[in-house]
Structure 1
Amino acid sequence: MSNRIVLNTISHHGAGAIENIVPELTARGFKKAFVCTDPDLLKFGVPQKVTDLLDKSDFAYEIFSDVKANPTIENVQSGVKAYLGSCADCMVAIGGGSAMDTAKAIGIIINNPEFADVRSLEGVAPTKNHAVFTIAVPTTAGTAAEVTINYVITDVEKKRKFVCVDVNDIPEIAVVDPDMMSSMPKSLTAATGMDALTHAIEGYITKGACAISDMFHLEAIRLISANLRAAVNNEPAGREGMALGQYIAGMGFSNVGLGIVHSMAHGLSALYDTPHGVACAIILPTGLEYNKTVAGARYRAVGKAMGVGGIDSMPEEEAIEATIAAVKQLSADVGIPANLQGILKEEDVQFLSESAFADACCPGNPRDTSVEEIAALYRGLM
């Protein structure tokens, strides 16, 4: 079996990395940037750290911020229209997964107009051309959308999210600067950080895991476990560690897939607007319990990367439970709820279970599942 690895052509990491944005654009002869961000970031002046650099260099740009936390088909359509009217020739996406996912969809449709029906991008769409040249600048340490070949769009009409997987959507350049993440509130830092941990753990146990992705995921688990608590307290070292850890997790899972935790979380975000990272964090221990019968042998390495003491000498069952306990403890330490009480409604369980089973992440789960088994997992979290 062969394995394919797709990564950014170039990535810049560390404090001050945003200083590379203008030189990267001008070196390629671009003249005007379409800056895709979200309204909350705009309100708090976060994109200004980048636009100030564009202004200083007299590099033209236009800002687009019609982006929801769970970006919709309508957001993408508005963005395509705005891009076409802007005379821009490149994009700079600034934000978390919402802004970067919107930018990916816009960029794909601009260069592949036959996919103007956003729903046609679901799954693995046969696009022919790479998306508009994009520099992605994350402001959260979680989604790793700046290095993945995936994006997620919400279909409001059908009350569901759909996952798009396309090697043509990956940003050519990622600029991962922890200073861009320093204004994240504690709750968002915790949620996005647990999303990153879920990426790393699900990616490590997914059916498609390989030696290269294992290397990425175990290092990501180590970095996230060591730095998330400090990042929530806005300590610079914690921010830097999380910025790197979430990116490395993206290098892995983007290439090998995820599993049932993400497929279940997507429905909660689409139906209730639950923050994606919170949904993932709540479901992750349940997903690990469910998958331990087929993937439990891999949990010891996860626990070791999380810093579980003495795990090398534990019997397998004890190592499995110690690893799950470590995940629960980290989640609790950063303030994530323990269950879906007050979120999930019984009358929605069947619809959510069917949606999760049909989700693009579900086939990668190490244990084969069913709508009925997913429904039981949801009910166990109520």
Structure 2
Amino acid sequence: MANRFILNETSYHGAGAINNIADEVKARGFKKAFICSDPDLVEFGVTQKVLDVLESNGLSYELYSDIKANPTIKNVQNGVEAYKAAKADYIIAVGGGSSIDAAKAIGIIINNPEFEDVRSLEGVAPTKNKSVPIIAIPTTAGTAAEVTINYVITDVEKNRKMVCVDPHDIPVVAIIDPEIMSTMPKSLTAATGMDALTHAIEGYITAGAWELSDMFHLKAIELIARSLRGAVDNTPEGRDGMALGQYIAGMGFSNVGLGIVHSMAHPLGALYDTPHGIANAIILPTVMEYNAEATGDKYKYIAKAMGVEGTEEMTVEEYRTAAIGAVKKLSADIGIPTDLKEIVKKEDIPFLAQSAYDDACRPGNPKDTSVEDITKLYESLI
């Protein structure tokens, strides 16, 4: 069986990368942009940095910012109608995973209107046409939504997140500019950074992993482990390393899948509006312990990439413990909580466990699991 890999047509990396937007727009013959961003980024002037580039080059746009932190079906449907009214021909997504995910869903529905209910996009949807062209500009270093074929939309009525996987949704251009990420507060930097680390670790041990994806994930783990503390302190080196590390992690996991850390985090976001990166960070070490027996010698290389010395002389048990310990130490250093006691209500665990088991990421877990296993994992964290 052949292994498939899908990446952006073009990506730009480095400080000032947003200045390449105009050249790309003109070269591709685009006429009017539909800007997807969130209200906070608009309020604090982050989105304006992109608008300034467009305005200084005489490029037309319409701004749409009706996007929640966990974008909903309604946000997408409203966006579809706004796109049509704007008579745009491409999308620029400015923001974290929320803005880019909403943009992907809007772009897919515009060119595949039979999926306008949004719910039918869950899982691997049989769309026929590529999305409206998207230029994705992440403002956080975590989700890597700018390079993935995945997006997540919240179904408010059912209190669940829908994971959608579609090769037709990947942005044609990704602009990864660490300067535009420097406005992130410490707490968001920490949360999104741990999301990126979770992508790299889960992608490395997932059932679909292979040599090419392993190469990306190990480098991502190394970059994130070396850079995240600095990024939280807003150093240029930390921001640069995280911008690249999270993107590389996305190059990998988008093509091979994730596991039950994400499966367990998604319902927390849907039910309690828990920030996705925080949920992942809390759950990751516990699930790493659970999965350890199904990972061969991979924790040795995770530990080494995390900066642990002497891994070649360690026993299997020692390097597995070292890998998990290094993740816990990084998480603690940047202020992530250690448990779900302030988030999860015990009476909700049956619903959470079933939702996690039904989640699209669960089949990628390296160890076969059950609702009962996931229930015990949640219970161990409260």
SS of the aligned residue for 1:94 comes to: strand
1:34 aligns with 2:20: no
CA distance in 2, matches of 1:162, 1:380: 25
**What letter is aligned with 2:315?**
P
Post-superposition CA distance 1:76-103 (Å, at most 9, x none): 0010010000011111000000000000
1:16-67 C-alpha deviation (Å, 9 max, x unpaired): 1111101101111111100000001111000111100111111000100000
Residue 139 in 1 paired to residue 102 in 2?
A: no
Q: Where does residue 120 of structure 1 map in the other structure? A: 120
Give the structure 2 partner of residue 379 of structure 1. 379
Describe how 1:293-332 pairs up with structure 2 within 5 A.
293-332=293-332
Structure 1 residue 226 displacement after superposition:
0.2
Query: Corresponding residue for 2:180?
Result: 180
Distance 2:370 2:296 in 1: 20
Counterparts of 2:30 and 2:343, CA distance in 1 = 46
Q: Which residue of 1 aligns with 2:343?
A: 343
- The separation in 2 between residues aligned to 1:29 and 1:195, in whole angstroms, is 35
3-state SS in 1 of match to 2:297: helix
What SS does structure 1 have at the residue aligned with 2:199?
A: helix
How many Å separate the matches in 1 of 2:298 and 2:143? 23
Counterpart-to-counterpart distance in 2, 1:2 and 1:302: 26
User: In structure 1, how many angstroms separate the alpha carbons of the residues matched to 2:216 and 2:294?
Assistant: 22
Contact 1:303 1:326 in 2 (8 A): yes
Aligned partners of 2:341 and 2:311: how far apart in 1?
32
Instruction: State the secondary structure of the residue aligned to 1:153.
Output: strand
Question: What is the Cα deviation at residue 342 of structure 1?
Answer: 1.3
Q: Which amino acid aligns with 1:176?
A: I
The separation in 1 between residues aligned to 2:28 and 2:13, in whole angstroms, is 20
In the alignment, the residues of structure 1 paired with residue 296 and residue 78 of structure 2 have an alpha-carbon distance, to the nearest angstrom, of 45
Aligned length: 382
Q: Distance in 2 between matches of 1:205 and 1:373?
A: 19
Indicate the residue corresponding to 1:77 in structure 2: 77
The residue correspondences of 1:221-370 to structure 2 (distance < 5 A) are 221-370=221-370
User: For residue 50 of structure 1, what is the aligned residue in structure 2?
Assistant: 50
Deviation track 1:198-225 (CA, whole Å, cap 9, x = no partner) reads: 0000000000001100000000000000
Tell me, yes or no, if the aligned pair for 1:296 and 1:320 is still in contact at 8 Å: no
**Per-residue deviation, 1:296:** 4.7
Matching residue of 1:199: 199
* Cα drift, residue 311 of structure 1: 1.3
Partner amino acid, structure 2, of 1:321: T
Aligned-residue sequence identity (percent) comes to 68
Amino acid at match of 1:379: E
RMSD after superposition = 0.5
Deviates more, 1:310-319 or 1:278-287: 310-319
Question: d(CA) in 2 for partners of 1:191 and 1:157?
Answer: 26
* Partner-residue secondary structure (3-state), 2:145: coil
Structure 2 stretches lacking a partner, 5+ long: none
Shift of 1:310: 1.0
CA distance, structure 2, for counterparts of residue 241 and residue 323 of structure 1: 21
In structure 2, distance between residues paired with 1:39 and 1:91: 17
Q: Distance in 1 between matches of 2:307 and 2:217?
A: 15
TM-score by length of 1: 0.99
Q: Secondary structure at the match of 1:168?
A: helix
Q: 1: CA distance between counterparts of 2:346 and 2:316?
A: 35
Deviation at 1:5, TM superposition (A): 0.2
Q: CA deviation at 1:380?
A: 0.1
Is the CA contact 1:291–1:367 (under 8 Å) kept in the aligned structure 2?
yes
> 1:350–1:375: 8 Å Cα contact kept in structure 2?
yes
